Amino acid sequence: MITIRRWSIDRIVPALAGTMVLLSLALVLAFSPWWLLLTAFVAANLLLFGLVGWCPTTLLLQRLGVPRTGGSATERNS
């Protein structure tokens, strides 16, 4: 049986950051080097998340009801 896992904030933030960096690089190649500012902004927020465990994205995700962590493997399987 396939179980759909709910992603946690700890998984979503880096995945979203990676997506935004790739998007920014595509925009740099297609339009203007000024899009590197988006990459810098994403990097600063990712660094903030890594150091203190908080960034603006986490506030939005918490308001949407996304759990902070995925929990243990036994919690996910039950």
pLDDT at 73 over 60: no
CB-based contact 55:13 (threshold 8 Å):
yes
- Name the more confident of 19 and 75: 19
Indicate if the pLDDT at residue 1 is higher than 90: no
What band does 3 get if pLDDT is binned at 50, 70 and 90? Answer: very low
The pLDDT value given to residue 4? 46
What DSSP designation does 77 have? Answer: H
Residues 47 and 41: beta-carbon distance below 8 Å: no
Structure confidence at residue 71 as a pLDDT band (50, 70, 90): low
70 with 76: CB under 8 angstroms?
Answer: yes
